[in-house]
Amino acid sequence: MRRVEPNTMPLYVTKKTHKRTSLAPHGKRILMPVTTVAVRAGYARNDHEFEIKYYDPKVIGNGTFGVVYIATLYETGDKIAIKKVEIDKRFKNRELQLMKRLEHPNIVRLLYHYESVDDHKNEYLNLMLEFLPKTFHQLLRSYKQVDACLPSIYVKLYMFQLLRALNYIHMHKIVHRDVKPQNLLVNHELALLKICDFGSAKELQEGDSNITYICSRYYRAPELLFNSTEYGTTIDLWSASTVMAEIYLKSPIFSADNAIDQIVQIIKVLGAPTRKDIESMNPKYAGVPISDVPGIGLAKLLKGHASSHALEVLGSLLKYNPNERAHPLEILSMQFFDDLRKPETTLPDGAPLPPIFEWYQREVELSYTVKLQASIFPTRRTPAGRSSNSESSKSDSNLSKSSW
């Protein structure tokens, strides 16, 4: 690849590739090419360009979005993920700008970013992200392969972190639009979960028309299946609840080959939507004749798999009417998560739980009432919150409890 000088075309780089053996600063001898690129930081308040080095890139995923590599930072030896996406000027790519605004322990961290050009003059956006070893999909599959269930404490921890992350995203009026096990990264040893892949995400603007063919079908909210273009952040909550149900069932709760059959699968479980439900999903279908078809119900479907407290969570989110789905923080206050609030609770190997109650000040102040605050946090601690260096802190002063 031809070198492009930073002073003529900032960020369009693949500056050097060293092929000789070298001793990296972290003490490991490198016997492979080392690539130097000019990058900009993901969260820094300045936009200065600087160089970093990485080596040993390997493809770990690809699709219509582009390619994902795993690589190693030369200076530290830390693993990183590099998401390389071709820039198509016909379409908006919001991912970089949204990720630069989102700094949260349960959202995969954008470390650096840069642009590159190949020999055919195709342009690419490269996002250098923190690396977690598995997707939630891979974790669930590993348990399924040995006919085992994910231990209850992990179900609670992972769902807590997912809902907390969604609350933070929704505070910024951003909707992810593709919540599914493949887009959740985990470090199972530490019981950490982070949302990734904001390629479909969007900041909602009043009056905007949104595309309906979004989100993987099995996890798609019913208002999307009813072709609503005025949906809100609650489509993510439906998706999160289907992820939770999949933990217990070891397969997607609703699965079909097309949108119509997907609706049928939902009706088989929840029963037919009422006229009010249909109007809330898409008023254009308000006059469609409906039959009072009963569903099997969540309790019967999940009998022997999920506790009554888990069913309470699922029942609060798996609702046709988007306005009736519980707020994520209301869910976090439910009894299902009470074990996480007990000081004696540990991971199965005796290790302490991850620090899931160390919340940013913005989360504490702007999201919920004092009553909910008392229900979410352990009684032994006061959630004073902690500061964040995110550039989004400037805009957070405009948020209020009305963002519920």
Residues annotated as part of the active site: 178
Residue 268, phi then psi, degrees to nearest 5: -60, -30
DSSP 8-state code for residue 321? S
> Are the CB atoms for 70 and 80 separated by under 8 Å?
yes
Is residue 84 part of an annotated ligand binding site? yes
Nearest to 280 by CA among 314, 317, 323, 237: 323
Helical pair 234-249 and 308-317, crossing angle rounded to 10 deg = 150
Q: In degrees, to the nearest 5, what angle opens at C-alpha 359 toward C-alphas 343 and 333? A: 60
**DSSP SS3 for 81:** strand
Do residues 171 and 163 lie in contact, with contact meaning Cβ atoms separated by under 8 Å? no
Tokens at 83, concatenated: 């998401």
How far apart (Å, rounded) are the C-alpha atoms in residues 189 and 186?
A: 9
Do the Cβ atoms of 285 and 226 come closer than 8 Å? yes
Query: Which residue ranges make up the annotated binding site for ATP?
Result: 84
Query: Which residue ranges make up the annotated binding site?
Result: 84
